[in-house]
């Protein structure tokens, strides 16, 4: 058994040596650009469509009521999932293990939101939205020096959901 494992290790090492050169990634913008133009608008599609708001008429479920609405959520969720891959690009990740782990979390939560949109499951979407917020926060707490601003950003966002 041990011999098999060692042989497998050599095989993997051999494959790594022959690996393709890095694809020619092009930096479209800096991290602020990616956050403001890719990730945040996508997350908003999930957050603006999950949970309840209290109005004069009572509790209103923010979940989409049309196929188009659910497609928008699915789009946001898909962008979030692939944003995790985007953030794992070497220029962004810079070999930082925790950054990569959190980015993988973004892929997973995005995929869960995609599944919730496919199932038209508003409860699952709400839970996924909360988990998504946790992923954003866990990266910001470690890597965004002025991360306190993110809390303010979320507080600003919440009232707009009732508009
Ligand atoms: C893997 C790390 C990582 C994840 C995950 C992440 N962010 Fe960020 N985010 C950053 C970093 C780093 C900055 C600070 C960029 C700077 O100022 O150079 C930032 C900044 C921001 C900003 C402020 C941009 C500005 O104008 O200064 C917003 C908004 C933002 N993130 C939204 C989000 C949202 C929403 C999520 C989750 C859906 C998220 N981020 C997930 C790393 C991350």
Of 6-20, 78-92, 101-115, 127-141, which range is least confident?
6-20
Residue scoring higher pLDDT (145 or 154) = 145
Ligand 1, pocket-test mutation among 112, 136, 137, most atoms within 8 A of CB: 136
Torsion sign (Cα): 92, 95, 97, 101:
positive
For residues 62 and 51, is the Cβ–Cβ distance under 8 A?
yes
DSSP 79-132: HHHHHHHHHTSHHHHTT-HHHHHHHHHHHHHHHHHHHHHHTT-HHHHHHHHHHH
Ligand 1, pocket-test mutation among 41, 85, 92, 144, most atoms within 8 A of CB: 144
Task: Write down the pLDDT at residue 145.
Answer: 77
Domain ranges of the chain: 35-157
Mean pLDDT for 19-29 is 85
Residue scoring higher pLDDT (152 or 146) = 146
Give the closest residue (by CA) to ligand 1 atom 36: 136
Q: Residue 123 and residue 51: Cα distance in Å, rounded?
A: 8
Ligand 1 atom with the shortest distance to the CA of 30: 18
Give helix 122-143 / helix 97-118 axis angle, nearest 10°: 170
pLDDT band at residue 26 under the 50/70/90 scheme: confident
Answering whether pTM is above 0.85, one says no
Give the closest residue (by CA) to ligand 1 atom 2: 139
CB of 133 within 6 A of ligand 1: the answer is no
Backbone φ and ψ for 93, nearest 5 degrees, come out as: -75, -35
**28 CA → ligand 1 middle, Å:** 16
Report how many helices (DSSP H) and strands (DSSP E) the chain contains, helices first. Answer: 8, 2
Ligand 1, pocket-test mutation among 30, 35, 144, 145, most atoms within 8 A of CB: 35
For residues 90 and 22, is the Cβ–Cβ distance under 8 A?
yes
Backbone φ and ψ for 88, nearest 5 degrees, come out as: -85, -5
For residues 93 and 107, is the Cβ–Cβ distance under 8 A?
no
CB of 106 within 6 A of ligand 1: the answer is yes
Give the closest residue (by CA) to ligand 1 atom 14: 144
Q: Is 30 left (phi over 0), alpha (psi -120 to 50) or beta?
A: beta
């Amino acid at each position: 058994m041990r011999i098999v494992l060692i042989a497998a290790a050599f095989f993997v090492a051999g494959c790594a040596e022959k690996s393709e050169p890095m694809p020619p990634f092009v930096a479209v913008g800096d991290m602020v650009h990616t956050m403001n133009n890719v990730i945040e608008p996508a997350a908003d599609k999930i957050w603006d469509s999950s949970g309840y708001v209290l109005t004069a008429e009572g509790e209103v479920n923010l979940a989409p009521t049309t196929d188009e609405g659910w497609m928008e959520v699915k789009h946001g969720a898909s962008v979030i999932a692939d944003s995790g891959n985007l953030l794992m690009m070497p220029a962004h990740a810079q070999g930082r293990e925790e950054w990569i782990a959190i980015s993988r979390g973004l892929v997973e939560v995005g995929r869960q939101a995609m599944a919730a949109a496919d199932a038209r499951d508003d409860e699952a979407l709400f839970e996924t939205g909360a988990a998504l917020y946790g992923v954003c926060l866990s990266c910001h707490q470690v890597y965004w020096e002025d991360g306190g601003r993110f809390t303010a950003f979320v507080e600003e966002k919440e009232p707009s959901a009732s508009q």
